[in-house]
Amino acid sequence: MDDGRRTGREYETRVPKYLAIYRVLADRIADGRYPADAPLPAQRELVEEFDVSLMTVRQAIQALEADGLLETRHGVGTFVRRPAFSYGLTGLRSLSQDLVEQGIELETEVLDAGLVVPPADVSARLGVPAGGRVLAVERLRSTRTTGGPVPLLLQTSYLPEGIGSRIGAEPLRHQSLYRLLEDLGTPVRQASETIQAVALTAEQAGVLQRDPGSPALLSCRLSRGEDGTPLVDDRALLVGDNTVITAERAVTGTNLAYEHLTTPH
């Protein structure tokens, strides 16, 4: 009985066996049979399924890794890679706007929100007097795959109390912070951003579904209004093992971008 499942054998007369297996496994990744972060079946199982040598299976896996569909985690196994995204450093779009512009279906989960006395460096950046309060909102940004949500970044936004009290946390589940600020009549007109390499703490790693100590990039962005008034201080953690910052240089200027690679360097 034909159950509709494709095997490598149907390609044998047209392409090399490893490429036939590549196509079948790539199809299974695309249709969600092997979702993001799922382990690939053991190589011996694939040898038996496709009736080929171990070397042929390994060739197929290497090709899938080269094309960014799989990754090998030493001592653990081979897994389907997470989806990729790019983040431009030019312009004034928010993180969520940048992701949506790329066609990524973004889900936002508000993990925590409330008025707090911020860290001293946040107070200084926002111009908040010592002991003054700000609205702190922690959000997890994920994309939806057939295997469930896949975390992309962990973001904490600090807003002066006067602005934060007018926005609240609930609208941030569904709308861009920059858009909300514009609706309030206080649009973002300029921003400064720094980026540094960090290691994820155990708590951060748990939220981002990574191992403690995994590399990450920390983006710190201070957004200001027309007259330079600080509006929001953002801290965003991007998983760093497949993230790169690229630069396009020309005599007219430099264009920078974050990019989540499907193939690690």
pLDDT tens sequence across 163-177: 988 887 788 877 888
Question: Largest Cα–Cα distance in the chain?
Answer: 75
Residue 193 clears pLDDT 90, i.e. is over it: no
Average pLDDT over residues 99-109: 70
Residue tagged 């807003």 (tokens) = 159
pLDDT of residue 265: 40
Instruction: Calculate the CA 132 to chain-centre distance.
Output: 33
Number of C-beta neighbours around residue 117 at 10 A: 14
Q: Specify whether the CB–CB gap between 46 and 39 falls below 8 A.
A: no
Instruction: For the chain, give the percent of residues with pLDDT over 70.
Output: 75
CA atoms within a 13 Å half-sphere pointing along the CA-CB vector of 233: 19
Pick 206 or 94 by higher pLDDT. Answer: 206
Give me 230's structure tokens. 């600080």
Using pLDDT thresholds of 50, 70 and 90, give the confidence band for residue 207. Answer: very high
Residue 147 clears pLDDT 70, i.e. is over it: no
Q: Which residues pair with 149 in a beta bridge?
A: 144
Highest mean pLDDT among 81-90, 138-147, 222-231, 234-243: 222-231
> How many degrees, rounded to 5, is the angle at CA 89 between CA 114 and CA 100?
65
pLDDT of residue 97: 62
| Domains of the chain and any CATH numbers | 8-80 (1.10.10.10), 86-260 (3.40.1410.10)
Pick 12 or 147 by higher pLDDT. Answer: 147
Judged by average pLDDT, the poorest of 8-22, 27-41, 194-208, 238-252 is: 238-252
Number of C-beta neighbours around residue 92 at 10 A: 12
- Label the pairing between strands 148-160 and 70-73: unpaired
Residue tagged 């860290």 (tokens) = 119
Cα-based distances in Å from 85 to 48, 67, 79, 168, 210: 36, 15, 19, 28, 17
Give me 4's structure tokens. 């509709």
Instruction: Tell me 85's DSSP state.
Output: -
Amino acid letter, residue 29: I
pLDDT of residue 156: 95
- Label the pairing between strands 230-239 and 77-80: unpaired
Q: Is 140 left (phi over 0), alpha (psi -120 to 50) or beta?
A: beta
Q: pLDDT for 45-97, tens place per residue?
A: 999 999 999 999 999 999 888 877 888 887 888 998 876 555 555 555 666 66
